[in-house]
Structure 1
């Protein structure tokens, strides 16, 4: 029975030794994994610093660009306001021209007969003057021939 006790203790010792060896192998493997993870994290930290720096620069440039666009937009607003004022002025001029045209058409319609008569009288006076001038020239030519 004592032999059985020794064998049991020996088996337990071997089991504990195997367990310790397995734990040591596992811990070494875990240590390597943790070291790799630590190196990866350090690498990521360096990369994140670079990305952060680039992101900050990009953000500054974006803000500067947004400010520039805002300034240019504000300066264009003046142009659009001027265009609007010009459009309103042209609209006002067009309305004035329409009113004048309407008045001229109304006056022309009212005075069409009078204007027609005035033109006829003017034509008659012009015809009379032209005939008078022609007769005068004919008479002068006739007198100058008689004198010769």
Structure 2
């Protein structure tokens, strides 16, 4: 019976040794994996830091560009306002010229005979002055 107990103890001891060896191997593999994960995370942190710096610079440049565009748009708005005012002025001038032309046409229709006579008299006066100079 002592022999059976001794064999059982040896089997338990061997099983325990195999279990310890397996656990040690698993822990070693886990350590390697965690070391790789730590290296990868460290590498990613450096890359993210670089990306963060570049992103900050890009945002700053974008803000500067947006500010410049807003400034130029404000300046262009004043130019467009000026062009609009010039356009309105020409429009008003055109309307005034049309009204004047219509008024002159109406007056010319009514007083066309008087206008003819005035042209004849003016022509005669000019001829008299020309003849006096010669």
**Aligned equivalents of 1:42, 1:20: Cα separation in 2:** 32
**Aligned equivalents of 1:13, 1:66: Cα separation in 2:** 76
Alignment of 1:35-54 (within 5 A): 35-54=35-54
User: Which deviations, in whole Å up to 9, do the C-alpha atoms of 1:17-52 show, x marking residues without a partner?
Assistant: 212111111111110111111111111111111111
* Runs of 4+ deviating beyond 6 Å: none
Alignment of 1:10-89 (within 5 A): 10-89=10-89
Which blocks of at least 5 consecutive residues in structure 1 are unaligned? Answer: 130-148
**TM-score, normalised via structure 2 length:** 0.79
Structure number with the bigger relative contact order (C-alpha 8 A, sep ≥ 6) is 2
**Aligned equivalents of 2:113, 2:11: Cα separation in 1:** 142
Which blocks of at least 5 consecutive residues in structure 2 are unaligned? Answer: 128-134
Structure 2 counterpart of 1:122: 120
**Aligned equivalents of 1:122, 1:76: Cα separation in 2:** 57
Which protein has the larger Cα radius of gyration, Structure 1 or Structure 2?
A: 1
1:104 Cα deviation (Å)?
A: 1.7
**Aligned equivalents of 1:43, 1:19: Cα separation in 2:** 36
**TM-score, normalised via structure 1 length:** 0.72
1:110 Cα deviation (Å)?
A: 2.3
RMSD, aligned α-carbons: 2.5
